[in-house]
Amino acid sequence: MMGTQLTQPRGGAERRPRHEHDRHMNTTDLTARLEAIVDEFRDAPDELRIDLLLEYAESLPPLPPHVDSSTMEQVVECQTPFFLQTRVAGDGTVEIWFDCPPEAPTTRAFAGILSDGLRDATVDEVLTVPDDLTERMGLDQTISPLRLRGMRAIVFRLRRQVRDHVEARR
C-alpha cells in the first residue's frame, strides 16, 4: 500500500507518520470541518479513498435558484466543465457554489469536500486553504496528476475570487 499511513510502535508509544513530509504538515490553516475531512482521507487506505470520494461527489448540493450558472467562473484546468462562484457576506463568511456534472465524480467529489469543509468559513479561513490540500489528503496516491492539477486550480481560483471580493470592498 502506497498511501500515507500512521504506524504504532511497540510499547504503546505515540503514533508517528510513516512519511517524512507528514511530520511537517500544519493543519492549523484548515477549518475544523476541513481538517476532519483531511484526516479522514489521509488515514484511509487507498482503496477506501475512492469510496470516500464517491460519497462526497453525491453530497455536493445543487446550485440555489439565485445563482446563475452562466455567470460562474470556469476552471479550465479541469478535464470536465467545472464552474465556481463565491460571495463574501456582510458578516465576513464566504458562500461558495460549484457546478460540475455528475459524470465527473472525482472533480465533483473535491467540490463536495470544499463545500462541506468550508461551510460558514471566514475570509481568512478560505484564503489560508493550502496549495497542497490534495497531498495532505493522500489524494496524490489515488488520483492522476492531471486531475490533481485541476483540483489545485480550483483552490487557486477560490482564493482569488475571495481576495477580489475583499479588495472590491475597500
Do you know the residue count of the chain?
A: 170
The domain total for the chain is 1
Residue 22 is assigned to a structural domain of this protein: no
Domain membership flag for residue 19: no
Q: Could you tell me the pTM of the whole model?
A: 0.82
The DSSP H or E segment spanning 161 is helix 145-169
Residue 35 is assigned to a structural domain of this protein = yes
Question: Mean of the pLDDT values across residues 59-69?
Answer: 94
The confidence band for 140, taking pLDDT boundaries of 50, 70 and 90, is: very high
Q: Is 128 domain-assigned? A: yes
Dist. CA 87–CA 94, nearest whole Å = 6
Say how far residue 121 (Cα) sits from the centre of its chain. 13
**Tell me, what CATH number does 109's domain have?**
3.90.1010.10
pLDDT at 21 over 70: no
Residue 29: CB atoms within 10 Å: 15
Residue 72 pLDDT more than 60?
A: yes
Q: Which domain holds residue 159?
A: 28-63+73-169
E strands, 2-148, in order: 6-7, 16-17, 73-74, 83-88, 94-99
Cell 492531471 locates to 146
Strands (E), 1-149: 6-7, 16-17, 73-74, 83-88, 94-99
pLDDT, residue 122, reads: 97
As a whole number, mean pLDDT of residues 120-137 equals 96
